[in-house]
Structure 1
Amino acid sequence: MTSEVIASAPGGSDAAGMDLDLDALVATMPFATTLGLTISEASAEAVVGRMPWSEGLCTTGAIVHGGALMAMADSLGAVCAFLNLPPGAGTSTIESKTNFFRALREGDVTGTATPLHVGRTTIVVQTDLRDHRGKRVALVTQTQAVIGAT
């Protein structure tokens, strides 16, 4: 889980009307960069990213470690929450639950994070992780605190 607060962008973090530099956004999360995470789409409605299979992310049997999948989902969920923040607010994960459905033995994993609830004090995000064949690998639901809203 992200332990640091993701700060808001100047003038607020609403994706509407913002010209997001997705590479720069990922670069603000060094661990996501270590995972090889890239983000291809980002809006308040959905954040889509991809993480390549890598031997360095695997556990026994060349299976991607569950912690790597959880970290990917947490990173995408944090960006989704960030894009739903009120002006001047930040966010941090306060709860996360993961259901694993199958092992990832090869190929990229794609994640789509969508907000389930956007409230004054919390944002709940669900991230669906799928393998290169489109089969669900994991489903992650997390709660993000809204910090410092004005």
Structure 2
Amino acid sequence: MIDATGTSLFHQTMPFTERLGIEVLEHRPELVRSRLAWDESLCTLGGALHGGVLMSLADATGAVCAFLNLPEGKQATTTVESKTNFLRAVRSGYARASSTPLHAGRSFIVVETLIHDDADKLIAKVTQTQAVL
């Protein structure tokens, strides 16, 4: 089920996510979930979703997770480090991202994002550090 409020939050704060067609499934401090449909326009010549598209899905989902875990009185974050391990390709269906906070401190928030396919196979694992602004 689509989380309309979360999807609107993504699209208003990160217009690029609307262009990619990212939909939010759930957003709360402990877990942010989103998905992106396979589309030929987002693929490499081999029909696999481009790695940059998957990284964009993870970065946006992780950014909202970090935002929802901001310390009181803080207003934003920015990605200062991101590491991605690609494990397999997405050639149809959806790429689904799930972000959870690993550390929510005063200066930095570390988020882990797992991307799965429709068969629930792990596609990529992303760890990113967000500076608290």
What range is the shorter-chain TM-score in? over 0.9
Aligned residues, how many?
128
Letter in 2 for 1:102: R
CA distance in 1, matches of 2:28, 2:132: 18
Aligned ranges 1:6-25 → 2 under 5 Å: 21-25=5-9
SS at match of 2:102: strand
Give the share of equivalent positions with the same residue, in percent. 51
How far is 1:49 from its partner? 0.4
Once the two structures are superposed, the pairs formed by residues 1-150 of structure 1 within 5 Å of their partners are 21-28=5-12, 29-86=14-71, 87-147=73-133
1:129-148 residue CA offsets vs partner (Å, 9 max, x unmatched): 0001000000000000100x
**TM-score relative to the length of structure 1:** 0.82
Task: Give the helix-richer structure, 1 or 2.
Answer: 2
Q: Which runs of 5+ in 1 are unaligned?
A: 1-19
- The one-letter amino acid of 2:32's match is V
Q: Does the CA-based 8 Å contact 2:38-2:49 persist in structure 1?
A: yes
* Larger of the two Rg values belongs to structure: 1
Superposed CA RMSD in Å reads 1.1
What's the offset of the Cα at 1:89?
2.1
CA contact (8 A) 2:97 2:115 kept: yes
Superposition deviation, residue 27 in structure 1: 1.6
- Tell me the residue number matched to 1:5: none
* Matches of 2:76 and 2:89, distance apart in 1: 34
Amino acid at match of 1:117: H
SS of the residue corresponding to residue 132 of structure 1 reads: coil
